[in-house]
Amino acid sequence: MSDHLFYLAMSYAAAAIAVAAEIVGLWLRRARALRGIEEERDLEAQD
């Protein structure tokens, strides 16, 4: 196992980081979209 541990760890770690990065990206995009809605509401309130 120890011979191949590095290759296994690099594979699984990269996959986990890629999925985690995508989930963070999804969260950030939703937060940005919600800010856009809030801005529209503010503009509407000003009118």
Partner 1 sequence: MINWFYFASPATFYRLAGWMAPWFFAAAAILAVAGLYVGFAVAPTDAQQGEVYRVIFIHVPASWMSMFIYFVMACYGGVSLTFNTRLAAMMARALAPTGAMFTFVALWTGSFWGRPTWGTYWVWDARITSELVLLFLYFGFIALANAFEDPRRGDRASALLALIGVVNLPIIYFSVLWWNTLHQGSTVSFKGTSMHVAMLWGMLLMALSFWMYSVGASLTRVRAIILERERRTHWARELQFT
Using rule CB under 8 A, residue 20 touches partner 1? no
* Distance from C-alpha of 28 to C-alpha of 35, rounded to nearest angstrom: 11
State the minimum distance, in angstroms, from the CB of residue 43 to partner 1. Answer: 9
In the complex, minimum distance from the CB of residue 19 to partner 1, in angstroms, rounded to a whole number: 7
Which whole-number Å values give the CA distances from 36 to 5, 11, 12, 22, 29, in the listed order?
Answer: 46, 38, 36, 21, 11
Residue 42 has what DSSP assignment? H
| Residues lying near partner 1 in the complex (CB under 8 A) | 1, 3-5, 7-8, 10-12, 14-15, 18-19, 21-23, 25-26, 29-30, 32-34, 36-37, 39-41, 44
